[in-house]
Amino acid sequence: MSERDPDEERAENEGMPPPRDAVNATGGGVPPARDDMPPTPGAMPSSGDATLRPEEGTSAEPPPPPPAPRPGFLAERPEVERDVPRRALAAATRRDFLLLAGGVLATAAGAWWLLPDATRARLVGMSGRDHLDSLAARVGLSRARRERTLDRALTFDDDVAEALTSPDRRVRTYARSEVTPLRNNFHGQTPGPEILAGWSLTLSGLASRRVERLPLATLLARFPLHGQVTRLVCVEGWSAVAWWGGLRFADLLAAFPPAPSARWAALRSVVSLDAYGRPEPYYVSIDLKTARHPQTLLATHHDGRPLTLAHGAPLRLVAPMKLGLKNIKALTDIAYSADEPADYWNERGYSKYDGL
Amino acid sequence: MTETPPPTTRARSAEPARVVVKHHPLVRLTHWVNVPVLFGLIASGLAIYWAAPVFLHPRDPVTGSRDYLVDLGAAVAHVLHDRGGDPRSWIYDHVSLGTGMLARALRLHWALAYVFMLNGALYLIGLIAGGGWRALLPRLSDVADARAMLRFYLGVVPMAIRRRPWPHPVIRSKYNALQRAAYFSMSVAGVLVILSGWAMHKPIQFGWLERLFVNYDGARIVHFVCLLVLGSFVVPHVILVIADGWDTFRSMVVGWSARLKEARHE
- Mean pLDDT for each consecutive 10-residue tract of chain B (266 residues)? 49 75 91 93 92 87 84 85 80 85 90 94 92 83 83 85 84 80 89 94 89 91 92 88 88 88 54
**Chain B residues near residue A28 by CB distance under 8 angstroms:** 260-262
* CATH number of A176-348, picked from 3.40.50.2020, 3.90.420.10, 3.30.2350.10, 2.60.120.10: 3.90.420.10
How close B258 comes to chain A (CA, Å)?
10
Containing H/E element for A240? strand A239-248
As for how many domains chain B has, the answer is 1
Q: Is the pLDDT of residue A28 over 80?
A: no
Return the minimum-mean-pLDDT range out of A45-49, A280-284, B155-159, B187-191: A45-49
pLDDT of the residue at A51: 39
CA distance A325 to A236: 10
Cα R_g (chain B), whole angstroms: 23
Query: Cα–Cα distances in Å, from B151 out to A110, A278, A318, B172, B251?
Result: 43, 68, 59, 18, 26
Q: How many other β-carbons are positioned within 10 Å of the β-carbon of residue A201? A: 19
Is pLDDT larger for residue A44 or for residue A67? A67
* Three-class secondary structure of residue A229 per DSSP: strand
Task: Specify the range with the lowest mean pLDDT, choosing from A126-140, A339-353, B230-244.
Answer: A126-140
A28/B199: higher pLDDT: B199
Q: What is the pLDDT of residue A208?
A: 93
Residues of B in contact with A166 (CB under 8 A): 205
Task: Decide if B7 touches A, using CB distance below 8 A.
Answer: no
Query: What pLDDT does residue B75 have?
Result: 86
Q: Is B11 on the interface with A (CB under 8 A)?
A: no
User: B46, B73 in Cβ contact below 8 A?
Assistant: no
Chain A positions touching B254 (Cβ under 8 A) are 92-93, 96-97
Residue B168 falls inside a structural domain: yes
Instruction: Give residue A12's pLDDT.
Output: 40
Q: Domain for residue B149, yes or no?
A: yes
Q: What is the pLDDT of residues A73-114, one digit of tens each?
A: 877 788 888 888 888 899 999 999 999 999 999 998 888 888
Please tell me the predicted confidence (pLDDT) of residue A16: 40
Alpha-carbon distance A52 to nearest alpha carbon in chain B (angstroms): 6
Tell me whether B220 touches chain A (CB under 8 Å).
yes
User: At what angle are helices A86-114 and B246-254 packed, to 10 degrees?
Assistant: 80
Q: What is the mean pLDDT of residues A269-292?
A: 91
The question of ipTM being above 0.90 is answered as no
Residue of B49, B55, B106, B119 to mutate for A, most A C-beta atoms under 10 A: B106
- CB distance B114–A350 less than 8 Å? no
8 Å CB contact of A153 and B202: no
Q: Which of A103, A151, A172 sits opposite B207 (nearest CB)?
A: A172
Q: What mean pLDDT value characterizes chain A?
A: 81
Q: How far apart are CA A132 and CA A120, in angstroms?
A: 10
From the list A309, A346, A315, A342, the residue with the least C-alpha distance to A328 is: A315
Least confident of A128-142, A227-241, A338-352, B37-51: A128-142
Of B54, B140, B250, the CB nearest to A2: B140
Is the CB of A320 less than 8 angstroms away from the CB of B204? yes
Taking the CA of residue B97 and the nearest CA in chain A, the distance in Å comes to 6
- Residue A41's pLDDT is what? 42
Q: Is the peptide bond before A314 cis (omega within 30 degrees of 0)?
A: yes
pLDDT band at residue A48 under the 50/70/90 scheme: very low
Report if residue B76 sits inside a domain: no
Structure-model confidence comparison of residues A189 and A168, the more confident one: A189
Residue ranges in chain B assigned as alpha helix (H): 9-14, 25-51, 68-80, 90-95, 102-130, 133-136, 142-161, 177-201, 207-212, 216-244, 246-254
Higher confidence at residue A116 or residue A50?
A116
Q: Are the Cβ atoms of B253 and A161 closer than 8 angstroms?
A: no
| pLDDT for residue A32 | 41
pLDDT value at residue B12: 57
Task: Report the CATH number that the domain containing residue B189 is assigned in CATH.
Answer: 1.20.950.20
- pLDDT for B5: 52
Cβ neighbours of A42 (radius 10 Å): 16
Please report the pLDDT score of residue B159 as a whole number.
Answer: 85
User: Which residue of chain B is at minimal alpha-carbon distance from A347?
Assistant: B103
Size of interface A-B (CB pairs under 8 A): 182
Q: What pLDDT score was predicted for residue A52?
A: 41
Instruction: Supply the pLDDT for residue B67.
Output: 85
> Residue B202 is nearest to which of A93, A110, A161, comparing CB atoms?
A161
pLDDT score of A339: 93
Chosen from A49, A89, A343, A356 to mutate, greatest number of chain B CBs within 10 A: A356
Q: Is the pLDDT of residue A13 over 50?
A: no
Chain A positions touching B13 (Cβ under 8 A) are 86
User: What pLDDT is attached to residue A169?
Assistant: 83
User: Does the CB of B218 have a partner CB in chain A at under 8 Å?
Assistant: no
Interface contact B174-A169, CB threshold 8 A: no
Name the residue among B1, B36, B102 with its Cβ closest to that of A52. Answer: B1
Which segments of chain A belong to CATH 3.90.420.10? 176-348
Confirm whether B60 is domain-assigned: no
**In this predicted model, which residue has the larger pLDDT, A125 or B220?**
B220
Cβ-Cβ contacts under 8 Å, A8 against chain B: 172
Q: Which residue segment(s) compose the domain that B252 sits in?
A: 18-49+101-263
Residues in chain A within 8 Å Cβ distance of B202? 161, 164, 355-356
The whole-number pLDDT of residue A30 equals 40
Q: How far is CA B106 from the centre of its chain?
A: 23
Amino acid at site A300 = T
